[in-house]
Amino acid sequence: MFDETFIAMGIRRIAIIGSGIAGLTAAIKLKEQGHDVSLFEKSRGPGGRLAAKRVANGSVDVGAQYFTSRNPEFLPFLTRFAGNSSFTTWDGQFGFQGKDGQWQEFPDEPRYVGIPRMTAVSRALSAHVTVTAETRIERIVRNDNGWVLSDRAGNVQAVEFDSVIITAPPAQARDLLVQSNLPEQAAYLDDAVTRVLPCWAVAAHFKETPWPRHEGMRCDHPSLFWVANNSSKPGRKGEDQGGRGSWWVLHASSEWSQRNLETTPDQVAAELIAAFRELTGSDLMATDSVTHRWLYARSEGGSSPGHLWFPEQDIGLAGDWLSGGRVEGAFDSACSLVSAYVATDASR
Chain positions contacting ligand FAD, by CB under 6 A:
17-23, 40-43, 48-50, 63-67, 136-137, 167-169, 172, 176, 199, 201, 251, 294, 297-298, 319-320, 325-330
Query: Measured from the CB atom, is 129 or 137 closer to ligand FAD?
Result: 137
> Using CA atoms, how far apart are residues 178 and 15, in angstroms rounded to an integer?
18
Strands (E), the chain: 13-17, 36-40, 52-55, 58-61, 87-89, 94-97, 103-105, 112-114, 131-132, 137-143, 146-151, 163-166, 196-206, 216-218, 224-229, 246-252, 288-299, 308-310, 315-317
Q: How far is the CB of 207 from ligand FAD (least distance, A)?
A: 25
> Using CA atoms, how far apart are residues 256 and 231, in angstroms rounded to an integer?
26
Query: Measured from the CB atom, is 142 or 243 closer to ligand FAD?
Result: 142
Q: Which residues, in sequence order, are bridge partners of residue 203? A: 249, 290
Cα distances from 75 to residues 1, 108, 120, 285, 323, in angstroms, run: 40, 18, 15, 39, 18
- DSSP state letter for 284: P
Query: Measured from the CB atom, is 21 or 286 closer to ligand FAD?
Result: 21
Q: How far is the CB of 2 from ligand FAD (least distance, A)?
A: 26
Q: How far is the CB of 346 from ligand FAD (least distance, A)?
A: 26
Query: Measured from the CB atom, is 132 or 241 closer to ligand FAD?
Result: 132
**Coil, strand or helix at 245:** coil
Q: Which residues, in sequence order, are bridge partners of residue 226? A: 218, 251
Query: Measured from the CB atom, is 109 or 283 closer to ligand FAD?
Result: 109
- DSSP state letter for 125: H
Pairing state of beta strands 52-55 and 94-97? unpaired
Query: Measured from the CB atom, is 86 or 144 closer to ligand FAD?
Result: 86
Query: Measured from the CB atom, is 239 or 320 closer to ligand FAD?
Result: 320
Nearest to 41 by CA among 142, 135, 143, 166: 135
Q: How many CB atoms lie within 10 A of CB 232?
A: 18
Give the sign of the dihedral formed by CA 118, CA 67, CA 319, CA 334. Answer: positive
Q: How far is the CB of 250 from ligand FAD (least distance, A)?
A: 10
